[in-house]
Each structure stands twice: as C-alpha cells, then as structure tokens.
Amino acid sequence: MRRRDFIKTIAVGSAGAALSFNSIPMRALGENSVTSKFLNPFIDTDKVLVVIELLGGNDGLNTVIPYQDSQYYIKRPVIGIPAGNVLTLPGSTMGLHPSLTELKNLMIDGKLAVVQNVGYANPNFSHFRATDIWHTASNSNQILTTGWLGRYLREEYPNYPGTLPADPMSIQIGTNSDLSLISQVGNMALTFQDPNQFYQLTQGGTYSGYERVKTYAGDELNFARKVSSRLSSICNKSKRSC
C-alpha cells in the first residue's frame, strides 16, 4: 500500500478532520505541504493497514497524561493519575497510564506514535452523528454516505463488484458492516465475527464448471455462484490473516 496515495485518495470528496501542527492548519485526511513531510520517508511495502475501533468512552487524559501540567491535577483531584505512577516518556511532558508498559516500549523503539488534538471545526455533540463524521471524514455540516476507507478501496478497485479481486480488499471482524468501509457501490469489506465459523460456512464446495443460465434471472444466479466460488477460494487466506 502506498501511504502517499492512500492519503490523497481518501481526501477525495471529503475535507477530512481539521487540526493544526505547530499552529499550521491542516487536515487529518487531507493533502498539503505538512502532510507531505510526514509521507516523504515512506516507500512501498507489503505491510497492511490495521484499524482498531474501540467502542465506548476512553479516558484520553488518563491514557496519555499531561502530568507536568498543574491544571490536570486541579481539574482531576480524585481521578488524576499521581505523577509518581505515570510512565514517563523521554523528551516529553506527557506520560502514559501505568498499565501501558508495552506501549511505552513501542514508543521508545519508534514503533508507536500518538496524534493528539485531532478533531474538526464546529464539533457535533451527538454521539451518533459524531460517529458518522468520524467514519466518513466529513465536515460537521456535511452529510456523506460513504466512508473514508470505502472511498479509498473504490479508487483501488474501480471494477468491483463486476470483477472480483483474487484477495479480499479488506477484512472486517465484527457483527455489523462499518460505515467507514462503505463505498458508492456498497460494502468493500469481507465481514465476519469468527474466522473459524466463516471457514465452516464456505466449505460447501464451489461451482467450477457449472452451466451458465442465459436469462435475466440466470445472470443473478451466475453472479451468486461466482461470489460463492470466490469466497471458497479466499477463505483460507482470510483464516490465515486473522
């Protein structure tokens, strides 16, 4: 995956989330001179993008802790993490929750970064609407029906679903399709909750060598058979990926 192209593509049709870097306005999903500086060191690799969505409320100030800011303890006299318990980070005024030792090690090794203060102008305080903004990377006054990942995958696979890729474009593990993976032609993810159960569902055989039915309804049947056969062929890859 080319990270530079990924950033450019998902910005199409979406302004992204507004933030600033050293007081320079920028977009979390946009393309400008600041984001270009972040992208310059990256080259093509065989790595994949893994997005983990944690549902529920995370206490950000007790995760990445401004323990050197007196206002933190003034505002949180009871639930604030004592400075002596904070996992300090070299060269930073921020620290981590004491249970996040492994994350601290990753940060010291240069394998983990924290992006703070990412948001958008005129925030919407509805939980459900804010989640849609998050998934679609829209402005707060903009309604989009496609997700930022879905738009990227649509650009990468313009002939889908007429032409099915040999490998899954993306895999979502969960009970419901996520708006972030919806494109103009529908869901771009192979979605299942348990890879082992999914594997069992696809072990009913394939339709290789079947006779094509040359009617309107037959076209639908042929497509369903094609999808079923392709699911069987990619199932082992998906199982290994999970």
Which of 59, 70, 64, 117 is closest to 89 using CA atoms?
64
pTM of the model: 0.65
Beta carbons within 10 angstroms of residue 74's beta carbon: 9
- The answer to whether 34 and 24 are in contact (CB under 8 A) is yes
- The answer to whether 115 and 29 are in contact (CB under 8 A) is no
Beta carbons within 10 angstroms of residue 241's beta carbon: 14
Q: How far apart are CA 235 and CA 240, in angstroms?
A: 9
pLDDT at position 19:
38
pLDDT at position 26:
41
Place of tokens 């065989």: 46
pLDDT at position 29:
47
Instruction: Write out the chain's pLDDT in tens, 242 residues.
Output: 454 555 444 444 333 333 333 333 444 444 444 445 445 554 566 778 889 888 777 899 999 999 999 999 999 999 999 999 999 999 999 999 999 999 999 999 999 999 888 888 899 999 899 999 999 999 999 999 999 999 999 999 999 988 878 788 898 988 788 899 999 999 999 888 877 777 676 665 555 555 666 777 877 877 777 766 666 666 666 666 65
Residue 88, beta-bridge partner list: 95
pLDDT at position 224:
75
Residue 207 is which amino acid?
Answer: Y
pLDDT at position 47:
76
